Amino acid sequence: MTKYLLVAVVMLCVLQTADAQQVNEPKHNKAEWNTPYPSFRIAGNLYYVGTYDLACYLITTNKGNILINTGTAASAIPIRKNIESLGFKVADIKILLNTQAHYDHLGAMAGIKKETGAKMMIDEQDAKVLEDGGNSDYEFGNHGSLFQPIKPDRLLHDKDTITLGDMHLVMLHHPGHTKGSCSFLLTVKDEERSYKVLIANMPTIVIEKPFSQVTSYPGIEADYAYTLKALKELSFDIWVASHASQFDLQKKHQPGDAYNPNAFTDRAGYDAALKDLQETFDQWKR
């Protein structure tokens, strides 16, 4: 067995045994969720390390690295390969963050936390869902754990700052999609300039009934309205999101493309995406 195959097998075993509790990850995963996609440098010390559609971000610092999201459980190996292909080590991850407590963004988180000892930080309103593996999720819960449960090391609140080395991220509470959905603002630098980056959690609607019937989330309509308004008021140089399809990743970057932060400015695309979401929300609440 080659060294690289052995590493992959060991990593898979670690991730599969991170918690003895049985998980019932839904079987309707979209193919593009787990399709590998080559990692690349977005801007400065911000890198894309996710799959074709499940966006995961590595932020490097002088004191270790930060990983935001992990995709599904099946994303563990592609994420590892993407991080290592950039010349970084999974072992150097010190902080784990998440934009929404759903299995397609948390599936591999427990295993990576166990392997690295990184601190898991989560929006306070998603903490319960994180700890029970998604069983208490207002829409997808009550079917057992959908991902390996994780005990958070720090609960985050709106506008809290996460600091590691020379990096400072501000968490923005943007509920609706989940009770603790959130976005992050940070500033990264390259050889020429600084970029204010928004990692946006776009408020797509996942329920299949009127807001008034969502008894497990009484404030859902107000939360969606708040988040849409808050997102419209943000300023930034570059934006990305929880899903690659939400910010047209493949139209802005193809494998092998040269480093080009300006491809991700796209305020017009951001405003258009929010306009579509606002229209959907307005129709849904009637």
pLDDT, tens digit, 9 for 90 and up, residues 254-283: 999 999 999 999 999 999 999 999 999 999
Report the CATH number at residue 261.
Answer: 3.60.15.10
pLDDT, tens digit, 9 for 90 and up, residues 152-184: 999 999 999 999 999 999 999 999 999 999 999
Look at residue 93 and tell me if it is in a domain. yes
Q: How many domains does the chain have?
A: 1
Look at residue 198 and tell me if it is in a domain. yes
Determine the Cα–Cα distance for residues 129 and 123; give it in Å rounded to an integer: 11
Determine the Cα–Cα distance for residues 124 and 173; give it in Å rounded to an integer: 9
Look at residue 23 and tell me if it is in a domain. no
The CA-based diameter of the chain, rounded to the nearest angstrom, is 60
Whether pLDDT at 249 is above 70: yes
Predicted confidence at residue 17, as pLDDT, reads 38
Question: Rounded to an integer, what is the distance from CA 266 to the centroid of its chain?
Answer: 20
Determine the Cα–Cα distance for residues 20 and 120; give it in Å rounded to an integer: 19
Whether pLDDT at 208 is above 90: no
Residue with tokens 């839904």: 26
Look at residue 13 and tell me if it is in a domain. no
What are the DSSP calls for 29-56, one per residue? --HHHHSB---EEEETTEEE-SBSSB--
Look at residue 4 and tell me if it is in a domain. no
Predicted confidence at residue 28, as pLDDT, reads 59
Look at residue 213 and tell me if it is in a domain. yes
Look at residue 17 and tell me if it is in a domain. no
Q: What is the pTM of this model?
A: 0.91
- Phi-psi region for residue 87, left (φ > 0), alpha (ψ -120 to 50) or beta? left
Predicted confidence at residue 11, as pLDDT, reads 41
Provide mean pLDDT across the span 22-32: 70
Look at residue 164 and tell me if it is in a domain. yes
Interacting residues of 282 by C-beta distance below 8 A, sequence separation 6+? none
Determine the Cα–Cα distance for residues 185 and 274; give it in Å rounded to an integer: 17
Predicted confidence at residue 30, as pLDDT, reads 80
Predicted confidence at residue 79, as pLDDT, reads 95
Question: What is the enclosing helix (H) or strand (E) of 120?
Answer: strand 119-123
Token pair, residue 258, equals 């040269």
Whether pLDDT at 29 is above 80: no
How much of the chain, in percent, has pLDDT values that exceed 90?
83
Q: Which domain holds residue 254?
A: 30-284
